[in-house]
Structure 1
Amino acid sequence: MADNVVIIVQARTASSRLPGKIMMPILGKSLLARMIERLLIIRHRATVVIATSTNAEDDVIVNEANLLKVPYYRGSLENVLDRHYQAAKMYNADVVLKIPSDCPLIDPRIVDDVLDHFFNNKGKFDYVSNLHPATHPDGNDVEVMTMDCLQKAWENAARPLELEHTTPYIWENPQLFRTGNVTWDTGLDYSMSHRFTIDYPEDYQFIERVYAELYRTRDNFSCQDILDLLQRKPEIYELNARYAGVNWYRHHLEELKTVTSEQTRQIDLHTV
């Protein structure tokens, strides 16, 4: 019997930098809806589940899930590892994909590439991602793990960063888990130079412009289509270029063993 693959999209309206970002409009639909739209066209058979919190402010996400006819789970706001585990258990996952909700430009082909690597090496890996190290443009984050792997992390993780970010316990303990990584087949590394995710108003401007330029002629536009667009119109790249390389790692460099300062960038809030 084929494995039951569940893609869990963690989503909440609370955001210290850009509150409500996942409900911001992109061509008449929410940013979350546009992202789900892209995940639903992957080649692999999978169930997409939105995992949000029980907080009243996240009722809007449940309403959006119902509108999209996508299943959902409500759990802890802060313990995102528990939210992933409980959602995966509720939907009988054998294989779990973790996808953050701030990646509305994620390329379905990249999702398939990581799943291909996982299934083509079936039984060899507990966890496969394209993040350790990352090479794709930021915002194409894909993490695949077995249900047993996720359960072991859920049972043993204790540090706040492990609970908040779900998977650090896995990739920080290579003696406990068999981990694999997928690098970008171009041989390039744009992880610190190109930013396709959303945390700041400039990111929204970038994403809105990319959709305006590409969606109407090719609704399943690829990562390469975006890069070609940026070559033609470098002013779009400049919209959020100041934040390229800025990610959550910067807050935890003293705690993480497998992440270096070269994999993140600090920002001077006085200059942005």
Structure 2
Amino acid sequence: MKTILIIQARMGSSRLPGKILKPLGDTVELDYVVSRCRQVQGVDDVIVATSVLSQDDEVEVWCRKQGVTCYRGSEDDVLDRYYSCARTYRPDYVIRVTADCPFIDYQLGSEMVETMKCSPCDIVMLEGVLPRGLAMEIVSFAALEYMHTHGNEERHREHVTYYAYEYPERFRTVTLTVPNEIRHPQLRITLDTKEDYAMLTAVAEEFKGDMLVPAKRVVQYLLNHPDIAAINAHVEQKPVI
């Protein structure tokens, strides 16, 4: 069972340009994401997939310096970028992570890989809603290929796995229950705005020097410090259209 993890990353952001290489803790935001993704058990390689635009040269340079595999593809057709990247490595399964999640839950990610290993399917569905910014997704390469072929709407090309959630009957699924301790969807632990950055900076300072702090501790910290959680509580996610 060959499993790769692909992090979609780009410098372009309408609300917070260059966000993934902004300072965070003792390093930069993307370092948090890559370091935590490398903790997911059962993953053969962690790859950063960025665009071919010149503004993303900086991402490739960072990856080269850090010894991180980097792939470059389409800016707007993110599904094609993912599929083309995955096809290069011919995995059985692909884990999807977005680069704006510095406290991604690698422990839950490891459970998802184990679930897929024990019950092979097209996609592992999570039962229970998490804070935005903690979850990753795992799909079979065959399912990713099917989505690439059949997902022709703009929303399917921009949001890699969206097709599978629109047409779940076309895929074999297995459900993994999310632990109660991280079922707090009111929290926003992702980076898209200056308010998000302020909140995440506060969290990184609380756990300074520990990029691998368990996600459940981050959640508990925010529950215990509602003033910190409130910094970006009003931020709305962009709708899928």
Following TM superposition, by how much is the alpha carbon of 1:219 offset from its aligned partner in structure 2, in angstroms? Answer: 3.9
Runs of 5+ in structure 2 lacking a partner?
none
Residue matched to 1:189? 183
Q: Report SS of the residue matched to 2:180.
A: coil
Question: Is 1:214 aligned to 2:203, yes or no?
Answer: no
Spell out, residue by residue over 1:106-163, the C-alpha distance to the aligned partner (whole angstroms, 9 max, x if none): 12101112222222212xx211143xx6512110121111111111111111100000
**Equivalent residue number for residue 54 of structure 1:** 52
Q: Residue 169 of structure 2 corresponds to which residue in structure 1?
A: 175
The size of the alignment, in residue pairs, is 241
TM-score normalised per structure 2: 0.93
Q: Does structure 1 conserve the Cα–Cα contact (< 8 Å) formed by 2:35 and 2:211?
A: no
Cα distance, 1:87 vs. partner? Answer: 0.5
> Residue 90 of structure 1: CA displacement?
1.1
8 Å CA contact retained: 2:182, 2:216: no
Residues 165-188 of structure 1: per-residue CA shift (max 9 Å, x gap)? 111112211231112343322176
Taking the aligned partners of 1:185 and 1:232, their CA distance within structure 2 comes to 18
Q: What does residue 13 of structure 2 align with?
A: 15
Is 2:141 the counterpart of 1:153?
no
Q: Distance in 2 between matches of 1:114 and 1:4?
A: 14
Q: Residue 192 of structure 2 aligns with which residue?
A: 199
* 1:226 matched residue in structure 2: 218
Aligned-partner residue type, residue 103 of structure 1: C
Does the aligned pair in 1 maintain the 2:49–2:72 contact within 8 Å?
Answer: yes
1:242 aligns with 2:238: no
Which structure carries more relative contact order (alpha carbon 8 Å, separation 6+)?
A: 2
Amino acid at match of 2:116: F
Q: Per the alignment, do residues 198 and 92 of structure 1 end up closer, same or farther by CA in structure 2, a change over 3 Å counting?
A: same
The secondary structure found in structure 2 opposite 1:48 is: strand
Q: Distance in 1 between matches of 2:207 and 2:216?
A: 12
4+ long deviations beyond 3 Å: none
* 1:52-131 paired onto structure 2 within 5 Å: 52-122=50-120, 125-130=121-126
Tell me the SS of whatever aligns to 2:50.
strand
Conserved 8 A contact 1:74-1:83:
yes
TM-score w.r.t. length of structure 1 = 0.83
Shift of residue 207, structure 1, vs aligned partner = 0.9
Q: Which amino acid aligns with 2:123?
A: Y
Match of 2:43 in 1: 45
CA distance in 1, matches of 2:100, 2:177: 21
Using the TM superposition, give the Cα deviation of residue 33 of structure 1 relative to its aligned residue in structure 2, in angstroms.
1.2
Query: Which letter maps to 2:237?
Result: N
Distance in 2 (CA, whole Å) between partners of 1:115 and 1:188 is 19
In 1: Cα distance, 2:172 partner to 2:11 partner? 34
Q: Distance in 2 between matches of 1:7 and 1:151?
A: 16
**DSSP-derived class of the 2:192 partner:** coil
The answer as to whether partners of 2:4 and 2:46 remain within 8 angstroms in 1 is yes
- What CA RMSD, in Å, does the superposition of the two structures yield over aligned residues? 1.7
For residues 219 and 187 of structure 1, the distance between their equivalents in structure 2, rounded to whole angstroms, comes to 20
d(CA) in 2 for partners of 1:181, 1:100: 21
Ranges in structure 1 where 5+ consecutive residues have no aligned partner: 253-272
The amino acid across from 2:178 in the alignment is: W
Secondary structure, counterpart of 1:175 in structure 2? helix
